[in-house]
Amino acid sequence: MAVGATRKKVLRKFKLRGYILQTDALEEILSFLTQFEDAEDEAINVLLDEINKESLNSSVLDRDSVHRVISLLHEAESAVEASPSSSNRSHFRIVDSFIIPKFCYDPIKKTFYERTGKLPIHGEASSKAALYRDRFELLLQRLSRDPHFAKPAFDSEFNRSDSCEISPIQSLIGQTGRRWIMGVISQLEDGHFYLEDMTAAVPVNLSNAISLTSSMLFDKPSS
């Protein structure tokens, strides 16, 4: 690319980031870009990202500020070429799972909150049930945010006939017509399957169901 076009490109990109280049700083950058004729845009973006990390007293960049950042980039490139394996290992970081905050979902307030207290290494008797309950509530709130499964609003493009609002299983008592429910298929009794959510359970007939995998069941369409 011509020097004039490269000069305009550098000035424009730095101006978009809020920087003003002095003449000697611009010449320093143009000299740096001669090493990356086939990747000028990438080189400029990397240089800008590194300049953003610097503690600058002014948005006007002089030659010393730019030269310092370019020198750091050259040193980093030399370190990678000298020891590429050690550079790859630096991208991995071991994090203690017990210091990662755990968030729980409140179905009443419909918000997430951070769980307080120390997490035990070994689960309690109720931990397994709590695991499935939390997973179910997370899936339910995510599904309920979808416009097709949410309660239609007055100004919504979906009307009630198009909406598939999820209803609790307990609300099916005394209701007629079609309802959309979400639940977990469980075997509460030997040979009898139920669809249950956090409110109730209803027996289901799976005699005509097709099992695609060991954990997925789909109803066979009637002919």
Domain ranges of the chain: 3-89, 167-223
Residue 162: per-residue pLDDT: 64
pLDDT reported for residue 91 = 56
Percent of the chain with pLDDT over 90: 3
pLDDT at residue number 211? 65
Phi-psi region of 177 (alpha: psi -120 to 50; beta: other; left: phi over 0): left
pLDDT band at 205 (very low <50, low <70, confident <90, very high): confident
How much is the pLDDT for 212? Answer: 57
Lowest-confidence pick of 35-39, 49-53, 72-76, 84-88: 84-88
Mean pLDDT over 12-33 rounds to 88
User: Which pLDDT belongs to residue 176?
Assistant: 83
Strand, helix or coil at 76? helix
Distance between CA atoms of 222 and 176, rounded to whole angstroms? 21
For residue range 68-80, what is the model confidence (pLDDT) as tens digits?
888 888 887 776 6
**pLDDT above 50: residue 62:** yes
Q: Is the pLDDT assigned to residue 166 strictly greater than 70?
A: yes
Please give the DSSP secondary-structure letter assigned to residue 222: P
Q: H-type helices in the chain, by residue range?
A: 3-16, 23-33, 40-53, 63-82, 84-89, 127-144
Cα–Cα distance, 32 to 74 (Å, whole number):
10
| Packing angle, helices 23-33 and 63-82, rounded to 10 | 20
Q: If pLDDT is split at 50, 70 and 90, which confidence band does 220 have?
A: very low
Rounded to an integer, what distance in angstroms lies between the CA atom of residue 159 and that of residue 133?
31
Q: What is the pLDDT of residue 82?
A: 61
Torsion sign, CA atoms 213, 214, 218, 223: positive
pLDDT at 80: 62
Whole-model pTM above 0.75? no
Domain 3-89 indexed as CATH 1.10.8.60: yes
Across 157-179, average pLDDT:
78
User: Over the chain, what is the mean pLDDT?
Assistant: 79
pLDDT at residue 88 is higher than 60: no
